[in-house]
Amino acid sequence: MTVPAWQGCPAYVAPSSVEPLTASITVPAGTTYDGGGKRFQLSNAGQSEGQPPVFLLEEGATLRNAVIGDLAADGVHCKGNCTVYNVWWEDIGEDAATALGASGTTMRVDCGGAFLGTDKTFQHNGQGTLHITRFVADNWKSKGGKFYRSCGDCTGNKGPRNVIIENSRVHNHQTIVGVNSSYSNGSTPDKATLRNLYLLRWNGEIEVCSTFKGVEKGSGSSSNIGPEWSTSTCNVSYTDIFAVDQLNGTKKTGIAPGNGVDPAPVNRVKESWTY
């Protein structure tokens, strides 16, 4: 892994055993599935839509201590309240994880990491809240994609969706969160809350919180409105962000100003990374 685990979380350990699958593993309501650090492999159809998840979490289920390999399909699906702890995606398939729960539910992701994505790491198709903490991610090959996206054009697409991301490190993503500040059907806008994030991208600017107009499937495309700071949709200030610049070099992480000043006066730290 190119980025180590967040401080206080279990380190990634290369699995010594592989669990080949022919179908998704369903974790029943209210139970815990401990992967024991094994690598799970299902299928790989790249960015094709409609792939099955490796793990399907029913209401109140917990998944912990699992590694999803390069046959990652559509990662993890959470149908309601659920917890994902110390799960590592070595090579993201369609998406790493998708929150499908109704209003009032929370998908909690704590520790672990996700790598080699090209589009979205976390996808939010239901309502409720997706809460991510102490997580690391790096799209070092594509150097793009979105870390989180509230669905732009789902069937029956509506808000609000809430996302909370805190105490995490995200490298080589173009957008950290994409949220819908309005919906064509007039439903309540989304809200993103970001705190204590370390961000690195040395090949272009990062849009920390980018806003869109959400539409229903078949009603056109979701339109990009642009990045925002300290608004009702984007609850993030400059002090919440640490931009990582190159130690003993000239490479810097650019932060898109959006509705703020340019250059964005975020916190800046210097670190040594081999990009």
Looking at the domain assignment, is residue 3 inside a domain? no
Looking at the domain assignment, is residue 7 inside a domain? no
Looking at the domain assignment, is residue 6 inside a domain? no
Looking at the domain assignment, is residue 211 inside a domain? yes
pLDDT value at residue 47: 74
Weakest mean pLDDT among 17-26, 181-190, 213-222, 249-258: 213-222
Encode pLDDT of 244-261 as tens digits: 999 999 999 999 999 999
Q: What is the CATH number of the domain that holds 186?
A: 2.160.20.10
**How much is the pTM?**
0.96
Band (45; pLDDT cuts 50, 70, 90): low
Encode pLDDT of 61-96 as tens digits: 999 999 999 999 999 999 999 999 999 999 999 999
Q: How far apart are CA 215 and CA 239, in angstroms?
A: 32
Looking at the domain assignment, is residue 12 inside a domain? no
Name which of 3, 29, 65, 52 is nearest 200 in CA terms. Answer: 3
Band (60; pLDDT cuts 50, 70, 90): very high
Looking at the domain assignment, is residue 147 inside a domain? yes
Q: How many domains does the chain have?
A: 1
Looking at the domain assignment, is residue 8 inside a domain? no
pLDDT value at residue 50: 81
Contact 151, 175 (CB under 8 A): no
Looking at the domain assignment, is residue 9 inside a domain? no
Average pLDDT for the chain:
96
The total of other beta-carbon atoms located within 10 Å of residue 219's CB is: 12
CA 181 to chain centre: 18
Task: Give residue 266's domain range.
Answer: 18-271
Name which of 95, 23, 31, 24 is nearest 59 in CA terms. Answer: 31
